[in-house]
Homo-oligomer: A and B are copies of this chain.
Amino acid sequence: MDDDLILLGHGSGGTLSHRLLDDLIVATLSGHGPGEQNDAALLAAGETRLAFTTDGYVVDPPVFPGGTIGSLAVHGTVNDLAMMGARPLWLSCALIIEEGFSRSQLAAILNDMRQAADAAGVRIVTGDTKVVPRGKADRIFITTSGVGVLEHDLAIHGANARPGDRIILSGSMGDHGIAVMSAREGLPLEGLCSDSAPLWDLVEQMLDEAGEGIRVLRDPTRGGVATTLKEIAGQSGVTLQLEEDQLPVHPQVQGVCGILGLDPLYVANEGKLLAIVAPELAEALLARMQRHHLGHRAAIIGTVEAGEPGRVRMRTTVGGMRVVEMLAGEQLPRIC
């Protein structure tokens, strides 16, 4: 293997991704050290606290059960802002289109994008369109950036988990990744849709319920719940203890994962969040989340412990203890 080449796994969200980010990309562009990364940057504009984020979307296929690359690009960026506790307000949209792409399919994707923006309460205020020759891109790539406003003084970030805190997951794992993979491979999975959805409304109710009891919010996209928890464990210098029998998984997702040798713990979600919350507020917050249509399967899936920094452990359904690691490379490429 030529060490000088960028591999698919470098875009996986797993260990290879983190190493490329820490050693090269973030180090060069921002001068930040490893482990200081959150879903969005916090900025001060006069008296106003802003959050600013960006994500590129290369999902294959661009249309899948439960969404399109257009709605996905809105939800993903809205959610990155929401995970900082910021109200999403404005999006940009940069299109890179392959020559020969269908104009009517583009129209459908843009319509879906606009509907997603309207539903999420954000406006798409600026954009750019590039067309590259046939074979130089794969149909359509969309990069959205988002700006939101923090309407509170809370500090919600990955380094804020404390021993004793509870870990809440807002719903079932892996629906997005398995829905996209099934669409790509032509597997018939009746009734299984991506969970792609905008999470700000849910977050706003959570902030209202638990306020500064909410230590960390993170959406488990690429790399899934396992990777996101590994990041938080590392940033906060704590051990996270999971209970496997509390992890919500759709039976169809569990079935496909079983057949293909995938673990739903590592499969991408696009409408789920992980919250780490003060123990005394966890039950009330959970009840509030379960009353929201995007949180009705929310569950307390584990606890923060003072043990070894960066460790994630899971008590399995048969009572054993399993160490949860990041994946090295790519499990399902081009899922978002």
Interface residues of A (CB under 8 A from B): 3-12, 17, 20-21, 24-26, 28-30, 40-41, 43, 45-48, 50, 52-58, 60, 89-90, 92-104, 106-107, 110-111, 113-114, 117, 123-133, 135-138, 141, 143, 145, 147, 149, 333-334
Contacts and interface: CB of A to CB of B under 8 A. Distances in A.
Nearest to A12: B131
A2 B138 CA distance: 20
A46 B333 CA distance: 41
A149 B143 CA distance: 23
A117 to B, nearest CB: 8
Contact of A29 (B6, B45, B113, B136): B113
B25 A130 contact: no
B55 A94 contact: yes
Q: Which of A52, A128, A147 has the most CB of B within 10 A?
A: A128
Contact of A28 (B54, B60, B107, B133): B107
A332 to B, nearest CB: 13
Given A24-B110, A147-B147, A56 B96 contact: yes
A107 B24 contact: yes
Q: Which of A30, A41, A45 has the most CB of B within 10 A?
A: A45
A31 to B, nearest CB: 8
Given A54-B94, A56-B94, A132-B138, A127 B10 contact: no
Nearest to A113: B29
B28 A110 contact: yes
Contact of A54 (B3, B17, B127, B135): B127
B129 A17 contact: yes
B141 A96 contact: yes
A129 B11 contact: yes
A52 B125 contact: yes
23 contacts: A6-B102, A6-B106, A7-B131, A8-B99, A9-B131, A11-B132, A24-B107, A28-B111, A29-B117, A29-B127, A30-B125, A41-B126, A45-B46, A50-B147, A52-B147, A54-B94, A56-B95, A56-B128, A56-B129, A94-B145, A136-B138, A137-B138, A141-B141
A155 to B, nearest CB: 17
B129 A21 contact: yes
B333 A29 contact: no
Contacts of A103: 3-6, 24
